[in-house]
Every structure is written in structure tokens, then in C-alpha cells.
A and B are shown apart, each in its own frame.
Chain A
Amino acid sequence: MASYVLRRVSQAVPIAVLTSLVVFLMLHLAPGDPVVIILSAKPQAYTQEEFDRVEKSLGLDKPLAVQYVTWLGDVVRGDFGESFYLRREIRGLLVQRMEATLFLAFGALIFSLPVGILGGVVSSMKRGSILDRTINAVVVAGVAVPTFALGLFLIVLFGLKIELLPVGGMTSFGDGGVVDRLRHLVLPAISLGVGPAAIIARLTRSAMLEVLNQDYVRTARAKGLRNAIVVRRHAFRNVLIPVITVIGLQVGFLLGGAVLVEVVFSWPGMGQMIVNGIQQRDFPVVQAGVLVVSLAFIVTNLVVDVLYAVVDPRIRHSR
């Protein structure tokens, strides 16, 4: 087991490094020089001397390879550098933003897990019924609807029409207590969670249907066990494996996909930070943000793989 985990971890590291390299190259090769952006503050044309000074102060005068290696070395030591614009250490910024994004992703998961699993189980048990078809329709809609459109719809409906929930931000001014935070969480969490919920429902349904046709389920029924017990003890547990996989993937989606939701709901998370960073060509911020998100993605996948091995001994032994 330990060697399995170790092997998976060692596979994850190069992926993270590669991701960071790709992001680094994309940023540096894209048009739009941060030095020019900063110097454009000046009403008159800037001189070469000024250009060189700013370029040097941002560390952009060195060859790309050197910049990358320096950056990577610093990151390994836990130093993400300083933002070009905020003139502030990125580490503190990351922690803050990550907290907000995790809070949102967690909220979305809390919504999508029970909704998705319950929906899937119910629709598999009532296969072909109106209920099943209704759930299926909702699922298709849930996968199809763009997050931001859903977000705006929810804002208009619950924020402005019914006036039940706040329309944006993470706290109200002058409040910021737990209840206030939770109230702010509801709409963005639902917007973000609907997609994953739909996917989980869909997967749970098909996995359930498959399992319900298995011999051991038939045997259990033949023994005269009540339907609820058959579903709970015999079928559902076996459904969990594919469901865990998809949940793992969805966590990655929740972290990365939070970008649009964060923008629509003015949620002060990683997504918003990355979007701002891209607009301002704030290389260190974007690099750090993307690296952290991809690491989170890799780590969740890793955890899922390990969880598998725990849940299903066959996986552990077959590798």
C-alpha cells in the first residue's frame, strides 16, 4: 500500500512541474508586456532606460529559462514571489483566496453530493417512471446550463425578486458572522454545484442499474430481503467506487470551475485572482494561482486513487 501511494505521488510531481512550465510559457509568450502596461501609466512615451529599470525590477530582464528555474526554486522553498501590482507577497494572498475558494467548493460539494446521489438512486429504482424521466430531464439541464447564466438567474430570482438571499460577495458589510457567510454561500454554491450534482446523479443511476442486475442482488432479493436493505447494503456500496472517481474529478472541476461563479458572485477567491492577474499580466500571481489549482487537482486525484485502493482491494493488488 505504501509503495503504491509513493508511486502515485512520484507521478504527480512531474505533472505539477509540467503544468507550471506550460503556464509559465503561455504567459511569457502571449502578447502584452507587463513592463509596457506599467509604463503606459506615463502620459508621455517612456525611454529605454525607464523600460530597462522596470524590467529589471520585475526580474524580467533575464532569459526565460533562468526566470523559470529561479521561480521554480523559490516556489519549492515556499516563496511565490511578489505581485507586480499589489507589491505584496503572493503567499499571503494565496492563502486568503484559497480559503474563499475552498469554502465555496465545499459548499458546492455539500449541495451536489446528496442531491446527486439521491437523485441517481431514486431514478434508478423508479426506472422508466415519470419521476425517473423528470430527474433525467433536470440532469440534462443541469449539465447543459452555463454556470454564469444559472448564477445570474439565481441572483435575479432569489436576490432581487424574492429577496431571500444576498446577491454577491462573501459577507455583508457590518456583519460577517457565520449565518451571514452561509447565506452568502447558498447561491454561488448551488450555481457551482448543479453541474457536478447532475453528473453524479447520472453516474449513480447507471451504476445502480448495472449493480441491480447483478446475481448477488438477485440472490439477496430471492432471500426475501426487503428492497430498502437490498439497495442499501448490497447495491449501493458497490456503486460507490465509480461514484468516488467522479467525485474526485468533480472536486478538481469545483476548484477550477469556480472562476465564472466567483466572477458572477464577486466571490473573493482564486478564480477572481487569476482572472485579474491575466488582465494585468501579473505573471507571478497567475503562475502561483494556476499552480495551486493544478496541484489541488492532482492531489484530489491522488486521494481518489488511494481511496479506491482502500475501498477495493483488487485495485491495490493488480498494480
Chain B
Amino acid sequence: MADQPAITKGILDKMVGRRALVGGALGTALALPLAPALTAQAAGDTRSARRAAPAQTEGKGGTIVIDLGSEVENLDPHQQLTGTTAMVNAQLFEGLVRFKPGTVEVEPCLATSWESSADGLNWTFKLSENVTFHDGTPFNADAVKFNYDRQFDPNNEYYPLGQWSGTYAFNFLSGVTVVDPYTVTFTLATPFNKFLERMNTMLFVSPAAVQQYREAMIEHPVGTGPYKFDRWDKGQQVVLSRFDQYHKYEPTLDQVVFKAIPEAGARAAALLSGDVHLAVEITPEIAEQLSTNDQFQVVTGPTGALWFLAMNVEFEAFKDKRVRQALNFAIDKETICSAILNDTASVGFGPLSPAYPDYNPKVEEYYSYDPERAKQLLQEAGYAGETIAFRTSIGGSGMLSPEEMATFIQDNLREIGVTTEIEVIEFVSWMDAIRNPQNELTVMSWNLAPIEPDLMFNGILSKASLPPGFNTSYWVNDEFEALIETGRSSLDPAEVTTAYHRAQEIVMEEAPIVPVCHRLQVYGVSKLVQNFTAQPSLEFLLKGVWVSE
């Protein structure tokens, strides 16, 4: 997630479905029997982090043990695949820019300033002159060029080890030139108005380390971030320690330990026993348990994620948009968020969550929970009452509690006279199944940071994303296409916002999907951990965090 907010975290980690089986199927089942025990455990337990090194001074120090839930696969940011790995890499590596804490606004990081040419095709960055990599080598324009070539130049010696996943996020780039030792210019093939935001995800590794470690780079990360790599006990933990020469601020923790506990019950046990201080993306069941335990807090933050129903507009019953609108009126989203998800998600009115700067509050006016209205629309549309196949996955990261939610939705739909037959499919197979033209109705989720609306629109609702992409509604609308094109390429911010606002309205009117909810970031955090906050950029930020005894 972290430094790869919009892209890598986004879909990747959902797609790889890290806890599809274990966290989903087993996890939910296992968390339940454990629940009463955990409550009983809650009162007066003060053992949290008993094995952690004692903190030195107020406001500083300590070792934080973080449970990522799934394993880190590769610590080379140019090869990373999952959001899990991105959370670790966010501590080790940096980009030219970063997000200002608490916002999705860009601020300087490895670059101190920048300017773009009038046509938006040339971006010149002034680099900070006092930055060294963890191995002591300097960060400069040559390092930027080296990193670029490694990822984008097929003739580069190190290209095979750097082009795995990140490159698609930068396919608008055409080159980098070194202007002077601390100035570089990035050239774009087409103007891109979220260029700076996207640059946050381009992380820089030490050229010396790449040359030294080559293939083994994945186990020897060397960056410029606040924490440096200590060791990786495979299958057990990744250990980072404070980088004293960090250029931006003084890192507060002595050590950062990342563990991976996949199973939900085991995750809860590790938190309660004090083995772990902070667990990432905990299930609603664990969140509920922790919220009644005074040794813990549940820290939440917004995301740009959307959990929705996709209706195949080519399927007979959904050809009439009144039927699709009826479904939008039929779902009791409030109850889903509170009763099934224990408030680990917020009600979804439109495709974008309110955390996006381009959110259009008007989406809230379109559909409320109104079964009567839904029935009326169905009647007007002459809905024949045919049974609809309703596909749902078993678990899958970002899918929340798909089976419970689908069952609840099935009930909602039954109330308005729509019969559905739920088909439950294992996560990875499900991804194949829903992109089949015969797909009728499916649950679906799209996980992003609330930064670039284009990644949402162009990921699930555009012509370009028709299957094998994830536009499983098969919905194509020319006006919408034009608007998202403007949103993507216009260099006038006001024009972009207007286009995106209108695009959201079209989605509401045409109703190819039923937005259900926006997943929140949910962290289970020991009270010993101080100052931890969730970032809207989804960056996993440990700035100012320390662990008290």
C-alpha cells in the first residue's frame, strides 16, 4: 500500500488474494470460536509487547512489531508485487516527492523543488543535495538516471531485474536526462495531470547496491528511507533499524519488525499476547473484540476503495436501466456497514469515496434505501422475475466479507421481488468467472488510494477495461468516456474537477453498478504504540511513532 498507493496496493494485493483461503474461509470461521475467549481475556491485561526492547525516552525509541498478515515476497521496489511488500518498502525507500501527512497533496522528498514546461511534457526536478543511501553512497542525478534505466530501458544490464511490475504505472514517460549533478528532467510522451502524485510511487534504490547484489537485490534493499534493512529471517520476520543519517527528520523508533501471521485467530492471539503491537487490515471480528479492550485501539482511515455490485448491462434483465436503478434503491448499505462489517467500512453512495479530492457530494442524493421505490421501478420496467445468477468470491483481500454480504443483499433483493441464486467461488477462479460474458450479477471490489479517479473509472467502468479487464458490467457510455479522457489529460485543474463531477453523476444515473461501501483502513494497535495514524494516501507512515514501555 504505502508508497504504491494507487497502483500496486490497489489491485495487486486484492488480485493475489493473499488471504483468499486462509484469512477468508478459515479466518472467519476460526475467529468466531476464539471471540468469547478474547473478550474474557480483555480485562486488565497489560502484557502487551512484553518481549519488546524497553523504550528509552518519552517521544522516542522502542521496537515496534507489526503483523502484515501476509508475507513479504521481495524487497526490491522495482520488482515488488504486493501491497504488503510496499508497506515494508515504504520505510526503506523514497520517491522524489511524497504525500504530506494526513493529505493526498504532494510535498518535496528527494527533490526539493520542481517545475514543468507549459505543455506539461517536461518536468525538471531539483534534487536534495544532502541525501545518502543506507550504504553511504550519494543520491544524485546519476542515481535517478540509473534507477530509470533499470526499470525502463530494455537494453540496460540490470533491466531484467527491475522491469517486473512497476513499469506500467509509468508508460507515459519517455525519458530522463541529467541536467547537472542535482537536476534531472523527466520527459513525458503525453501530458498527465497526476504525474507528481504518480511519482510518489517511483522509488529509488542505491545503484551501488544493484551493481553489487544483482539478482540478490531482492534480499538486500538499500534505499534512502528513515529505516534501513537489518535482516530477513525467512518466513518469520523482516527487521529494520533506524537510519541515523536520514535527511528529512529524526526517525523515532529503534527497530521496526514486520511479521506475517496469515490466520485471523492467530493474528488476534498475537496482538493480545503482546507479541505484536500493530496488526494491519484486521477482520471486522477482531476489530470488534479490540474495540472493547482498553489495552488496544482500532485505528481507521479512509481509502479510495469501492465494494460494489456489477450488473451486466447486456444481460436481459439488466438491459433496462430502471432495473439497475431499482437494485440501487434495494440495498440496505447502512446495515451492511454496521452489522456485518462492524464499521470497518463506510456507506458507498457513488463510485468514489469522499476521500477523493474530486468527490462529488451530489452522488448522495441519488439513491437511499427505499424498497418501495425499487418495486415501483421494477414494475415500470416490466421485470419478468427471472432468477439471476449472483456470483461471490470466498474471501480475497479487499473483498471484505463477501459471502455474508452477498447473503444479506440476496435478502434485500428478495424483498423487492428479485430472486437471485448465489454462486460462491474461490477467489482466483472467481476473478476468471466474473469476466465471462455470461456473468450476470457479481460482487466486486476495487482497491485504491483516493488519489486518481482515473484508476477507478478506467479500471472498472471504461471501454478500455472491458473484459479481460474488470468492467464486468460491460457498460460503455460515450459521454463518460470523453469526460474521463478530459479528467486524465487536461492540465486545467478546474476542468478536471468538473469532468470528474459529471462523470460521477453519469454513473449514478445510468447505474451500471450498485456502490455498496468503501473499505476503511483498519489497524489493531496496542496502546503502547504512540502517534500512529492512518494516511489517506494509504502510505504506511511511521513518522513520529514510538513505543512506550
Contacts and interface: CB of A to CB of B under 8 A. Distances in A.
Interface residues of B, number: 76
Interface string B227-240: 00000011111010
A167 B269 contact: yes
B466 interface: yes
A38 interface: yes
B73 interface: yes
Interface stretch (B18-26, B319-327, B539-547): B18-26
Given A168-B275, A272-B262, A43 B455 contact: yes
A264 interface: yes
Contact of A174 (B47, B51, B273): B51
A273 B468 CA distance: 29
Interface in A139-181: 148-149, 152, 155-156, 159-161, 163, 166-176
Contact of B469 (A45, A155, A278): A45
Nearest to B468: A45
A87 B51 contact: no
A163 B21 contact: no
Contacts of B168: 41-42, 44, 50
Q: Most chain-A Cβ atoms within 10 A of its Cβ — which of B15, B257, B263? A: B263
Interface stretch (A29-37, A118-126, A191-199, A206-214): A29-37
A106 to B, nearest CB: 17
B459 A43 contact: yes
Interface of B: 6-8, 10-12, 15-22, 26, 30, 33-34, 37-38, 41, 47, 51-53, 63, 65, 70-71, 73-74, 79, 81, 164-165, 168-169, 218-219, 233-237, 239, 257, 259-263, 265-266, 269-270, 272-273, 275, 426-429, 431-433, 448, 455, 458-459, 464-470
A149 to B, nearest CB: 7
A100 interface: yes
Contact of B79 (A87, A96, A167, A169): A87
Interface string A37-65: 11011111110001000000000000000
Contacts of B81: 38, 41, 85
Given A36-B468, A175-B51, A152 B33 contact: yes
29 contacts: A32-B431, A33-B432, A36-B468, A37-B15, A37-B17, A37-B428, A38-B165, A41-B7, A44-B458, A44-B464, A88-B219, A93-B234, A156-B37, A156-B38, A167-B266, A168-B261, A168-B270, A171-B236, A172-B51, A173-B51, A173-B237, A173-B275, A174-B51, A266-B259, A266-B263, A268-B236, A273-B235, A275-B262, A278-B21
B74 A85 contact: yes
Contact of B65 (A86, A170, A173): A173
Contacts of B33: 149, 152
Q: Rank and list the top 9 A-B pairs by shortest CB-CB distance, nearest first.
A: A268-B235, A45-B469, A32-B428, A40-B15, A31-B429, A167-B269, A156-B37, A41-B12, A266-B261
Contacts of B273: 159-160, 163, 166-167
Contacts of B467: 45
A100 to B, nearest CB: 7
B266 A275 contact: no
B266 A44 contact: no
Contacts of A37: 15-17, 428, 431
Nearest to A37: B15
Contacts of B470: 40, 45
Nearest to B22: A263
Most buried by B among A43, A44, A273: A43
Which among A88, A93, A265, A278 has the highest number of chain B CB atoms within 10 Å?
A88
B472 to A, nearest CB: 12
Contact of A44 (B18, B52, B269, B465): B465
A202 interface: no
Given A37-B16, A42-B168, A173-B63, A275 B21 contact: yes
Given A43-B459, A266-B270, A36 B30 contact: no
Nearest to A165: B273
Given A159-B269, A172-B51, A263-B22, A43 B15 contact: no
B73 to A, nearest CB: 5
With a 10 A CB-CB cut-off, give which of A30, A36, A269, A279 has the most chain B CB atoms.
A279
A299 to B, nearest CB: 24
Interface footprint category on A:
35 or more
Contacts of B71: 276
Given A266-B266, A275-B21, A45 B432 contact: no
A36 B265 contact: no
Interface in A80-103: 85-88, 93, 96-97, 100
Contact of A152 (B12, B30, B41): B30
A152 B30 CA distance: 8
Given A149-B33, A152-B30, 14 more contacts: A32-B426, A33-B432, A45-B465, A85-B81, A86-B74, A159-B269, A168-B261, A169-B261, A173-B275, A263-B22, A266-B260, A279-B16, A279-B20, A280-B16
Nearest to B427: A279
B53 A174 contact: yes
From B8, B16, B33, name the one whose CB has the most chain A CB atoms within 10 angstroms: B16
Interface string A252-282: 0000000000011110110011011011110
A16 B525 CA distance: 47
A33 B273 CA distance: 39
A61 B490 CA distance: 40
B141 to A, nearest CB: 29
B235 A100 contact: yes
Given A88-B218, A173-B51, A281-B428, A97 B37 contact: no
B275 A279 contact: no
Nearest to A33: B432
Given A44-B459, A152-B30, A155-B266, A279 B428 contact: yes
Contacts of B468: 36, 45-46
A169 B165 contact: no
A277 to B, nearest CB: 11
Contacts of B10: 43
Contacts of B47: 163
Given A37-B16, A156-B37, A87 B164 contact: yes
A204 to B, nearest CB: 32
A244 to B, nearest CB: 33
B30 A148 contact: yes
A43 B269 contact: no
Given A173-B65, A264-B30, A41 B237 contact: no
